[in-house]
Chain A
Amino acid sequence: MIDMSSVIVDIKNLQREFKVGNEVVRALDDVSFSINAGEFITIMGSSGSGKTTLLNILGCLDKPTGGEYLLDGTQVSKLSKTELARLRNQKLGFVFQSYNLLARTSAIENIELPLLYNARFSARERREKAMAALAAVKLTDRMNHLPNQLSGGQQQRVAIARALVNDPVMILADEATGNLDSRTSYEIMMLIQELNNDQGKTIVFVTHEPDIAAFSKRTITLRDGRILKDHINRDVQNAKDVLKNLSPITAPSNIAT
């Protein structure tokens, strides 16, 4: 069903050092791994383990000080800021913990935003692609709603649609369920599992919650800037089943999804 052989991310001996005063802090030290198309990976670790630094580098927001990072065939380490911006625009999708939607801007316009920074798309193409992304997160009926008219879960789904709209090779999520209650978290995880299983989207999900990591197919655990563990999850939880088993009484009634 999914071509597992194509490598999207290839990281070799990755290093990232920060200078703090006179001291050099090594946030990432000799990290190597690769990601194939269609994978759903969680990156775990306590704070200070280097998982945010790794995500920034994966997201082309930051450059490594050593080692190699190959993203979809492009050597990222040598790119200029402008080229990094283009790479983010065309190959990556971001989902943040705090959604980061533009205030007073409708859902559909928020989703269109990445395409506005790409001269290739006409206004009609932008609208069509944004509508398709909105349909993929099942919020077509909320296209003209403003962020403050949407629940947290709905806002995060709009953010996911925004990450999908440019057909990225990889979606990067940074604690994307961190601001949501468990039921809504599971609903978001269900959506992400669907995107991964049905549409073959490659997903890298940074979290520190083990029960969220349980929904992914593979988990990389970091500690002190090094990979502590990189294992395939043999017992992937299905978010749909977890939701079904959740007692309806415990569900907060004011959360609408």
Chain B
Amino acid sequence: MKMANLLRIAWRAINRNRMRTFLTMLGIIIGVAAVIAMTAIGQGSKQSIQKQISGMGSNMITIRPNSNVTGGVRMDNTSVQSLTEQDITALQKQPEYIDAISPSVTSRGQVINGPYNWATSMQGVFPEYLAIRGWPLLDGVSFTSQDIKSAAKVCLLGQTVLNNLFPNGEDALGKIIRFKNIPFKIIGVLSKKGENTFGQDQDDVILAPVNTVQKRVLATTYYQNIFVSAIDENATDKAAAEIQQVLRTSHRLAKGTDNDFTVRTQAELINTFSATSQILTILLTVIAGISLLVGGIGIMNIMYVSVTERTKEIGLRMSIGARGIDILLQFLIEAILISITGGVLGAGLGIVATRLVTFFIHWPTLVTEYSVIISFLVCFITGVFFGYYPALKASRLDPIEALHYE
């Protein structure tokens, strides 16, 4: 018996009852489309989170002070004064895995340029901050360590601030703007960074020398954050350990006491968010998988009905020379053809649905090859698994009884 002939026989049999075949397929079509769309949405959000977090600088490490209780007074972690210039000096001392260091203090306020003003935040940093964040200047120059020492009143504008203070597109370099009534000279313009993972506009910022913001704007001596970049992406964990050690010594923490600071790497951030979207992906895939299973049971059900309904046909086929195995293969191939065709249509529908999701609600999506391949494999297995028993039943019919079945 030639396989081509069996395929032809099964194909003709399926074609004889197109409406039923389509309805049988529907379960598989919806199941596969759901699997592909769901994984595409899951993968898409995972990928975009990863991209955005790495966009912050994938070897960046953030040090924050811990919230603390001092003398019964509970303070939130921005007012804790545990990170100081001493820490920077200690970290700069013999760094093994640390590349660049920058402290950070932030002040919110109104910035004014002539008739234009804008509520934004000014962040005091080292010039190294730009390298740590992987954030190049679009125009002008950055401030220097000399500017830090002298607490120079110079600043770099983020794109959003620039657009609000200079709406007509005039040249901002060299202009003087006022932040909390303190005049700052614009010496550079930052390139566009876009929104971060949390939807914050990263371009809505003014960067200035850290000492300037500390002394002239906030009148403080401590830092709110310290940003560190590891020598490369693979060294972030080692760098984080190094920082812990240095800071514990610098803060004179006794053995067994908790850190009064937190060290976070970008990799940890990525893992945290990936884990969330991973759970989402698994959940969605399980739901989609269940619908595929239901589709498979639908095939089995219809194949059983079909075998009973076509008993006479089976009897005829046997009487003209079909062997048991021919009947078995015919029904098995019919089930597989139905599930595979359903899989193809479902994959198409899933991809279209994915595109629509991206187009209409702007969710990031990513159709991965493996989700398509796995769906096909599942379809094939579904066809074989759920088609086998009905096919076996058909092949074991007695030709005489089958011929006289009414």
Q: Taking beta carbons and an 8 Å cutoff, which residues of A are in contact with B?
A: 56, 59, 61-62, 81-82, 85-86, 88-90, 94, 96, 100, 102-105, 109, 113-114, 116-119, 162, 166
A88 adjacent to B321 (CB under 8 Å): yes
Type the 1/0 row for B384-406, where 1 means its CB is closer than 8 Å to any CB of A: 00000000000000011001000
A113 adjacent to B317 (CB under 8 Å): yes
A56 adjacent to B400 (CB under 8 Å): yes
CB distance from A8 to the nearest CB of B (A): 18
Known: A89-B320, A117-B320. A109 touches B5 (CB 8 A): no
Chain A residue with the shortest CB-CB distance to B16: A104
B323 adjacent to A116 (CB under 8 Å): no
CB distance from A105 to the nearest CB of B (A): 7
Known: A100-B312, A119-B1. A82 touches B400 (CB 8 A): no
Residue from B8, B9, B322, B400 in contact with A85 in the complex, judged by beta carbons closer than 8 Å: B322
Q: Answer whether residue B313 sits at the interface, using C-beta atoms and an 8 A cutoff.
A: yes
Type the 1/0 row for B1-21, where 1 means its CB is closer than 8 Å to any CB of A: 110010011001000110000
- Within 8 Å CB of A119, what residues of B? 1-2, 5
Chain B residue with the shortest CB-CB distance to A165: B320
Known: A102-B313, A119-B2. A88 touches B16 (CB 8 A): no
A89 adjacent to B321 (CB under 8 Å): yes
Chain A residue with the shortest CB-CB distance to B15: A104
Known: A81-B324, A105-B16. A88 touches B5 (CB 8 A): no
- Within 8 Å CB of B17, what residues of A? 104
Q: Answer whether residue B319 sits at the interface, using C-beta atoms and an 8 A cutoff.
A: yes
A61 to B317, alpha carbons, bound, how many Å?
12
- Within 8 Å CB of A56, what residues of B? 400
Bin chain B's interface residue count: 20 to 34
Q: Answer whether residue B235 sits at the interface, using C-beta atoms and an 8 A cutoff.
A: no
Residue from A62, A89, A117, A162 in contact with B5 in the complex, judged by beta carbons closer than 8 Å: A117
Q: Answer whether residue B280 sits at the interface, using C-beta atoms and an 8 A cutoff.
A: no
Known: A117-B5, A119-B1, A119-B2. A86 touches B312 (CB 8 A): no
By CB atoms of chain B within 10 A, which of A82, A89, A114 has the most?
Answer: A89
Chain B residue with the shortest CB-CB distance to A94: B319
A114 to B322, alpha carbons, bound, how many Å?
8
Type the 1/0 row for B314-358, where 1 means its CB is closer than 8 Å to any CB of A: 011111111111100000000000000000000000000000000
- Within 8 Å CB of A109, what residues of B? 12
- Within 8 Å CB of B16, what residues of A? 102-105
A90 adjacent to B403 (CB under 8 Å): no
Residue from B312, B326, B399, B403 in contact with A117 in the complex, judged by beta carbons closer than 8 Å: B326
- Within 8 Å CB of B316, what residues of A? 96, 100, 102
Known: A56-B400, A61-B399, A61-B400. A113 touches B324 (CB 8 A): no
Known: A96-B403, A103-B16, A116-B9. A85 touches B321 (CB 8 A): yes
Chain A residue with the shortest CB-CB distance to B9: A116
A100 to B1, alpha carbons, bound, how many Å?
23
Residue from B5, B312, B319, B403 in contact with A116 in the complex, judged by beta carbons closer than 8 Å: B5
Type the 1/0 row for B80-110, where 1 means its CB is closer than 8 Å to any CB of A: 0000000000000000000000000000000
B320 adjacent to A94 (CB under 8 Å): yes
CB distance from A104 to the nearest CB of B (A): 4
CB distance from A218 to the nearest CB of B (A): 24
10 pairs of A and B residues whose beta carbons are closest in the complex:
A89-B321, A85-B323, A104-B16, A114-B320, A119-B2, A100-B316, A117-B321, A88-B321, A116-B5, A82-B323
- Within 8 Å CB of B320, what residues of A? 88-89, 94, 113-114, 117, 162
- Within 8 Å CB of A104, what residues of B? 16-17
A117 adjacent to B1 (CB under 8 Å): yes
- Within 8 Å CB of A62, what residues of B? 400
CB distance from A173 to the nearest CB of B (A): 13
- Within 8 Å CB of B400, what residues of A? 56, 61-62
- Within 8 Å CB of B2, what residues of A? 119
Chain B residue with the shortest CB-CB distance to A116: B5
- Within 8 Å CB of B9, what residues of A? 116
A56 to B5, alpha carbons, bound, how many Å?
27
A104 to B5, alpha carbons, bound, how many Å?
19
A212 to B312, alpha carbons, bound, how many Å?
26
A162 to B319, alpha carbons, bound, how many Å?
12
A166 to B321, alpha carbons, bound, how many Å?
11
CB distance from A25 to the nearest CB of B (A): 15
Residue from B312, B319, B324, B325 in contact with A88 in the complex, judged by beta carbons closer than 8 Å: B319
- Within 8 Å CB of A105, what residues of B? 12, 16
